[in-house]
Structure 1
Amino acid sequence: MPAYHSTFLGEDTNERVVGNLCLLPFHTKFRGPVYPPTQDYDIIDETLDLFRANSFFKNFEIKGNADRVLIYGILFVSECVSKLNLSTNFREAQRQLSNLALDGFKLPGDIGFPLNNLYLPPLTKNDYELLRTYLQQFRQETADRLLKRIYADDTNGGPSKYWLAFTKRRFMNKSL
């Protein structure tokens, strides 16, 4: 059974591309360069929907630039889930994931970025800054939506055990 690919593969030709990462639109409440999409379902919803299914796969064939956004999102969600444990309450989890989303992170082309063989670096300094702000906004919104899903049952108690079961899984044997 093959891994699940992005449904936005046809739309990635209409969007701006930095390196070979497509800057897909998504709904967000955070400040950044992203504009809202025309439909309700966006790349972050797709990332969160496909995270658990795709985390079982060690190989992933990239069919387009939207798949690269999906890969980055799944690896970021994996990193977020690994930061949580059963005793983490909602407020503490919110603080941890907010710090994780905003802390310094590597971009394609940077030394130490684990997926440099899959991503092309930005060509200009403006593209580099655009990619940094896009990914920062992407990480913030993903962490926020992930918290809403993990703590959907009870915001006073602990996280869902069905999400935390994936703390040891590594998609493509990689991590950010």
Structure 2
Amino acid sequence: MATNTIISPAIPSMPAYHSTFLNEPDTRVVGNFAVMPLRTKFRGPAYPTADDYDILDEILDLFRANSFFRNFEIKGPADRTLIYGILFITDCLSALATKAGGPPPLTEAGRVLNTLALEHFSIPGDPGFPLNSLYLAPRDRSEADLLRAYLSQFRQELAVRLLARVYSDGADKPSKYWIAFTRRRFMNKSLTSS
């Protein structure tokens, strides 16, 4: 059973950043994972948002700051979405950094991250999901299908937006200020089994 265990921050004087979407009204929740509206061109169950800023923008904005924390107090479903996104970004950066010959040029990086976003992945409740202690499983098969479709859409859009930031100077070389975070493991966790 997932809990809201309060874990003290690694650096007491500087708390981790939480989602600003914690108090959003009418947020769909599957298990205890917030299915937030997205600004995306990918098909899926996420409601479109009229706002210019969505949960994926927040994940990208908070990724580097939160990567320094090994502990994180979960305050609600939007924080679980934030955690998942931060861990997915870590997996994306690791995939780019571990390519033979160093980080790939932008077009190859797009293929690498698209493959990572679409490859089979576990969802909360699956035996292979590494964060089952923090997430509740969906109640039934229809909720599980909704969550899997949402996470597929979420991962594809997040990968595209990450590439825009990592390769922001237009060069075929990624920013060292993003690739440097492949050594950091938020909450000492990973979405991959390795």
TM-score, normalization: structure 2? Answer: 0.88
Q: Which letter does structure 2 place at the counterpart of 1:42?
A: D
Q: Take 1:22 and 1:102, find their aligned partners in 2: how far apart are those partners?
A: 20
**What per-residue deviation string (whole Å, max 9, x for no partner) do you get for residues 50-74 of structure 1?**
0000000000000010000000000
Instruction: Tell me the equivalent position of 2:95.
Output: 83
Corresponding position: 1:4 with 2:17: yes
Q: Which letter does structure 2 place at the counterpart of 1:96?
A: V
Q: Percent identity?
A: 64
Q: How does 1:8-87 map to 2 (within 5 A)?
A: 8-11=21-24, 13-85=25-97, 86-87=102-103
> Secondary structure, in 3 states, of the residue corresponding to 1:52?
helix
Structure 2 unmatched runs, 5+ = 1-13
Instruction: Tell me the equivalent position of 2:132.
Output: 116
Instruction: Tell me the equivalent position of 1:103.
Output: 119
Q: How does 1:118-157 map to 2 (within 5 A)?
A: 118-155=134-171, 157=172
Q: Which of 178, 184, 191 lines up with 1:163 in the alignment?
A: 178
Q: Take 2:30 and 2:146, find their aligned partners in 1: how far apart are those partners?
A: 8
Structure 1 residue 84 displacement after superposition: 1.1
Structure 1 residue 87 displacement after superposition: 3.6
**What per-residue deviation string (whole Å, max 9, x for no partner) do you get for residues 61-105 of structure 1?**
000100000000000001001111354100110000000000000
Structure 1 residue 123 displacement after superposition: 0.6
- Superposition CA RMSD, Å: 0.9
Structure 1 residue 138 displacement after superposition: 0.2
**What per-residue deviation string (whole Å, max 9, x for no partner) do you get for residues 150-173 of structure 1?**
011024x21000000101100000
Structure 1 residue 24 displacement after superposition: 0.5
Q: Take 1:110 and 1:169, find their aligned partners in 2: how far apart are those partners?
A: 26
Q: Which letter does structure 2 place at the counterpart of 1:164?
A: I
Q: Take 2:103 and 2:36, find their aligned partners in 1: how far apart are those partners?
A: 35
**What per-residue deviation string (whole Å, max 9, x for no partner) do you get for residues 110-137 of structure 1?**
0121100000000111000000000000
Structure 1 residue ranges, 4+ long, deviating more than 2 angstroms after superposition:
none
TM-score, normalization: structure 1? Answer: 0.96
Structure 1 unmatched runs, 5+ = none
Q: Which letter does structure 1 place at the counterpart of 2:22?
A: L
